């Protein structure tokens, strides 16, 4: 769980480019929003942009910059509203990517996934655009795409190299697991699984012992192919066990190579230590992993994202109590950061603490531009507390604001069936079948 979002240095760099094209020229000094962003005074930058928008309300550039100022404060739902308004005035690849990032941060994967696919298809060679959404591909369980994105970013002079290589290593880990699972499900994959297991159990970095067998069984297998070459072949023959084995091997090798780069080039990077903790956790050494992250939190109190990573590690371990405590800590530091409240809600749900969920979410939902994740979680809490009608009221209001959201239609359908309103359930079933995300 390496620093998924709020890559401040990147946002500041791209913000400078955005402001050069804005309709308003800002003076140097107290009213310079770029200076406010650079010193981390995002509220001041927000105020400056809002004042400028009173003079130029239809400036898409100013709206996007305002959205960034809100984004950096963790006010995702407000940022989403602003980014969407900007896009209605003027299409922008940058604003589109920022909107996709925020949807991913707020767990709105139904909306985010099509956007992520579109960005990779249309801007797969543009590091600037990819930098905004790069963490989303792992969040969306798309490790192969994540590898592709971070391989591009690792060659970009404008992207932090330690972050790129740590995330690339993590992406390779997820890709190895992805291909390994596919290999388990494939016929005739047993020999290849045995080769991978033998290399793992012996501590060997060489898992290619079955390459000869793979070449005999598949006409498409190319033993000298690198990851990108093998990936192109696998995409044409996704069920070929030999190719799945090769992709798993190359993913493992890529992880090792990326991590060695991290250790060699960035020995003092806290990101490398975070990744080391994650590796320990994956090996069942949770106490050591947690200890590393707690030491990092103490050493870097200015980096609340490490607290986020600790909470996400507890999530991966299924330790919901400690996950909840950790995100309460993050909320105390950054009360407006919706990542903290969103993940706290998730932990409370897994702890079956529905009354606490309702207490947490009710004031959030009452705010203007209430985030969809909070509305959906509050409906779930009401349902689990036995008030299906309250859940229906909440979702029906959300449906009016988000008529294209299939998840809302599905949940309403189930609730109407639960209370015996078959006519309403059928209407929601038809909406679910006929609605596509934006």
* pLDDT band (50, 70, 90) for residue 2: very low
Q: Which domain holds residue 23?
A: 1-136
Report helix angle 406-419 to 372-384, nearest 10. 20
Output the DSSP codes for 366-424. HSTT--HHHHHHHHHHHHHTT-HHHHHHHHHHHHHH-TT-HHHHHHHHHHHHHHT-HHH
Nearest to 304 by CA among 74, 45, 36: 74
Which range has the worst mean pLDDT, 10-19, 54-63, 88-97? 10-19
**Burial of 427 per CB tally in 10 Å (0-12, 13-18, 19+):** middle
Among 205, 240, 267, residue at a domain's last position: 267
The answer on 173 and 232 residing in a single domain is: yes
The answer on 3 and 127 residing in a single domain is: yes
The answer on 85 and 203 residing in a single domain is: no
Among 267, 290, 322, residue at a domain's last position: 267
Total domains, the chain = 3
Nearest to 106 by CA among 62, 139, 155: 139
Please indicate, yes or no, if residue 287 is contained in any of the structural domains.
Answer: no
302 vs 49, 156, 282, 330, 422, CA distance in Å?
Answer: 26, 26, 27, 12, 54
The answer on 21 and 121 residing in a single domain is: yes
Nearest to 89 by CA among 114, 118, 66, 112: 66
* Per-residue confidence (pLDDT) for residue 28, from 0 to 100: 57
Q: What is the mean pLDDT of residues 398-423?
A: 92
28: CATH: 1.25.40.10
* Per-residue confidence (pLDDT) for residue 265, from 0 to 100: 93
Q: For 94-132, how does the pLDDT look when each residue is reduced to its tens digit (9 = 90+)?
A: 999 999 999 988 888 888 999 999 999 999 889 999 999
The answer on 224 and 131 residing in a single domain is: no
Which range has the worst mean pLDDT, 13-22, 54-63, 151-160, 370-379? 13-22
> How many helices, marked H, and strands, marked E, lie in the chain?
25, 0
**Burial of 103 per CB tally in 10 Å (0-12, 13-18, 19+):** buried
Please indicate, yes or no, if residue 398 is contained in any of the structural domains.
Answer: yes
Please indicate, yes or no, if residue 260 is contained in any of the structural domains.
Answer: yes
- Cα Rg for the chain, rounded, in angstroms? 23
In this structure, the number of other CB atoms found within 10 A of the CB of residue 96 comes to: 21
* pLDDT band (50, 70, 90) for residue 30: low
* pLDDT band (50, 70, 90) for residue 11: very low
Please indicate, yes or no, if residue 239 is contained in any of the structural domains.
Answer: yes
Please indicate, yes or no, if residue 297 is contained in any of the structural domains.
Answer: no
Q: For 169-207, how does the pLDDT look when each residue is reduced to its tens digit (9 = 90+)?
A: 999 999 999 999 999 999 889 999 999 999 887 767 678
| Cα–chain center distance at 275 | 17
The answer on 27 and 126 residing in a single domain is: yes
Please indicate, yes or no, if residue 246 is contained in any of the structural domains.
Answer: yes
More confident residue, 367 or 437: 367
The answer on 154 and 263 residing in a single domain is: yes
The answer on 132 and 146 residing in a single domain is: no
The answer on 257 and 148 residing in a single domain is: yes
Dist. CA 299–CA 342, nearest whole Å: 26
Q: For 247-306, how does the pLDDT look when each residue is reduced to its tens digit (9 = 90+)?
A: 999 999 999 999 999 989 998 889 999 888 988 887 889 899 999 999 999 998 888 889
Average pLDDT along the chain? 88
Q: State the sign of the Cα–Cα–Cα–Cα dihedral 67, 71, 74, 76.
A: positive
Among 81, 109, 136, residue at a domain's last position: 136
Dist. CA 242–CA 191, nearest whole Å: 10
Dist. CA 197–CA 259, nearest whole Å: 21
């Amino acid at each position: 769980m390496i620093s998924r979002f709020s890559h401040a240095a990147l946002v500041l760099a791209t913000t400078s480019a955005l402001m050069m094209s804005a309709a308003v020229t800002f003076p140097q000094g107290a009213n310079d929003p770029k200076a406010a962003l650079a010193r981390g005074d995002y509220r001041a930058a927000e105020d400056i942009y809002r004042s400028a928008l009173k003079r130029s309300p239809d400036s898409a550039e100013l709206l996007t910059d305002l959205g960034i100022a809100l984004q950096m404060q963790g006010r995702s739902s407000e940022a989403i509203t602003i980014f969407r308004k900007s896009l209605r005035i003027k299409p922008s690849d940058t604003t589109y990517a920022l909107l996709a990032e925020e949807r991913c941060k707020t767990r709105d994967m139904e909306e985010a996934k099509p956007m992520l696919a579109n960005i990779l298809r249309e801007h797969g060679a543009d590091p600037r655009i990819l930098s905004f959404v790069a963490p989303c591909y792992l969040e969306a369980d798309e490790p192969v795409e994540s590898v592709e994105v971070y391989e591009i970013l690792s060659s970009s002079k404008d992207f932090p190299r330690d972050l790129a290589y740590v995330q690339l290593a993590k992406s390779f880990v997820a890709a190895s697991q992805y291909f390994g699972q596919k290999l388990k499900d494939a016929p005739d994959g047993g020999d290849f699984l045995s080769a991978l297991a033998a290399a793992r159990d012996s501590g060997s970095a060489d898992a290619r012992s079955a390459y000869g067998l793979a070449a005999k069984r598949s006409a498409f297998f190319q033993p000298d192919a690198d990851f990108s070459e093998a990936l192109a072949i696998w995409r044409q023959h996704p069920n070929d066990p030999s190719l799945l084995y090769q992709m798993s091997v190359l993913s493992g090798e890529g992880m090792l190579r990326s991590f060695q780069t991290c250790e060699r080039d960035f020995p003092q990077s806290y990101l490398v230590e975070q990744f080391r903790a994650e590796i320990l956790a994956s090996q069942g050494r949770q106490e050591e992993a947690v200890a590393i992250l707690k030491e990092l939190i103490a050493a870097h109190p200015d980096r609340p994202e490490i607290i986020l990573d600790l909470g996400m590690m507890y999530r991966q371990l299924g330790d919901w109590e400690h996950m909840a405590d950790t995100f309460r800590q993050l909320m105390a530091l950054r009360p407006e950061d919706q990542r903290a409240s969103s993940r706290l809600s998730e932990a409370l749900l897994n702890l079956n603490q529905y009354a606490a969920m309702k207490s947490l979410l009710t004031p959030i939902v009452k705010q203007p531009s209430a985030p969809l994740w909070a509305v959906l979680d509050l409906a779930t809490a009401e349902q689990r507390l036995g008030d299906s009608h309250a859940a229906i009221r909440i979702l029906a209001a959300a449906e009016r604001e988000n008529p294209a959201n299939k998840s809302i239609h599905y949940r309403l359908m189930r609730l109407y069936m639960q209370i015996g309103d078959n006519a309403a359930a059928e209407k929601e079933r038809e909406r679910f079948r006929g609605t596509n995300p934006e």
